[in-house]
Structure 1
């Protein structure tokens, strides 16, 4: 399974929603606290791009030489329609400063030095040490996951439904792809009583790119039909 550090790093560098919470931004509208872009530096710091006149930039600038405590809150929502669509949340807290000279005119880059990290997702909840977060790498499939899951649900629903044959139970009424990573595919099922449960299908070996993913998915669907 992916480590808690890898899962958090994947969320930070994915397209899931994120909002910055810091002193001095209490009156801002939620959309004003969403960064235009975010990335992780070589030392594990998180860089957040905002319009130069945003409340987050004003708060960091007014702090001047003082480090401003801040939390980046991330929410991961499944890109397909399933019960309970929130797949996970993560909180990256630390100290916020401005980083002049990096962003294009009209924008400001903010630097979040990571002090604490916590993730609560489909795998469970865990605290992550800042050095582990810095050393981790995002899942190599994160850039393809949304498109793949939506494609599976829309164009290959028959293959997905066939996965129910691998579950060893006869009360499964529907199967929807929920998440995919380099280790396997997770689906959300609904049973005859209307209850929902998750199942996971591990790939024979971890995949490293979209080509390996296609081969792994083909093998999985073949197993379901055999």
Structure 2
């Protein structure tokens, strides 16, 4: 959601870009209908500095308690860029001034240069599908990971196993949310022996993890 100081709208979805991309200098390019309130504000402000904040909410693609995995903010200066969008659409450029992330790892501010130079995780395009597949097809193997938790995993017997839902996966490991009685839950992070570079390496890493849990 793109927030512009002093701009109010009737429907919140008017502040939601329908496309997002990042330029080589770390600027965000956001697509909107040409008649949207955000575009009108950016067009009227041409030549002046119009500040804006893009707020992003990351929601787990599987059903799990406390489903929001994180929030991010990118603040900077907003301008309209003609000629980059299809007819009826307008591309807005948000020059990155500051950014922050508050997620499962904690809160951290991100320097514009680090944001510019960041490389996407190789699994990011497949993460939602992978988590949904693990949850729907490998629930027994996911539950078996409680055997790797020590005392937190209780005795490891089938009747005492915790419900286990995969909540995130990246090249370094898998995060699982274990749900106890009621809504009580906790996360455990299972690191892979080596960072994975593609789906094939992820399959091998998951096989090793499930084998360790079965021992």
TM-score, with length taken from structure 2:
0.93
1:127 pairs with 2:80: no
CA RMSD of aligned residues (A): 1.3
Ranges in structure 2 where 5+ consecutive residues have no aligned partner: 155-159
Distance in 2 (alpha carbons) for counterparts of 1:58 and 1:161 = 52
Distance in 2 (alpha carbons) for counterparts of 1:187 and 1:120 = 18
1:183 pairs with 2:172: yes
Distance in 2 (alpha carbons) for counterparts of 1:59 and 1:33 = 12
Alpha-carbon offset, residue 211 of structure 1 = 1.6
Distance in 2 (alpha carbons) for counterparts of 1:122 and 1:152 = 20
Larger deviation, residues 187-196 vs 132-141:
187-196
Alpha-carbon offset, residue 29 of structure 1 = 1.3
Partner of 2:189: 200
Q: Secondary structure at the match of 1:219?
A: helix
Match of 1:213 among 173, 189, 202: 202
Alpha-carbon offset, residue 221 of structure 1 = 1.1
The CA deviation string for residues 66-112 of structure 1, in whole angstroms up to 9 with x for no partner, is: 12100000000111111111100000000000110011111010000
1:173 pairs with 2:155: no
1:67 pairs with 2:56: no
User: Structure 2 matches for 1:1-226, cutoff 5 A?
Assistant: 19-169=1-151, 170=154, 172-192=161-181, 195-226=184-215
Q: Secondary structure at the match of 1:188?
A: strand
Ranges in structure 1 where 5+ consecutive residues have no aligned partner: 1-18
Larger deviation, residues 27-36 vs 176-185:
27-36
Distance in 2 (alpha carbons) for counterparts of 1:35 and 1:193 = 37
The CA deviation string for residues 6-46 of structure 1, in whole angstroms up to 9 with x for no partner, is: xxxxxxxxxxxxx1001353124111111111011000000
Q: Which has the larger radius of gyration?
A: 2
Retained in 2: the 8 A contact 1:87–1:122? yes
The CA deviation string for residues 139-169 of structure 1, in whole angstroms up to 9 with x for no partner, is: 1111111011111111111111111111113
Between 1 and 2, higher relative CO (CA 8 Å, sep ≥ 6) is seen in 1
The CA deviation string for residues 186-213 of structure 1, in whole angstroms up to 9 with x for no partner, is: 0001235752110000000111112211
Retained in 2: the 8 A contact 1:102–1:108? yes
Retained in 1: the 8 A contact 2:5–2:51? yes
Between the two proteins, the alignment pairs up a number of residues equal to 208
Q: Secondary structure at the match of 1:59?
A: helix
Moved segments of 4+, more than 4 Å: none
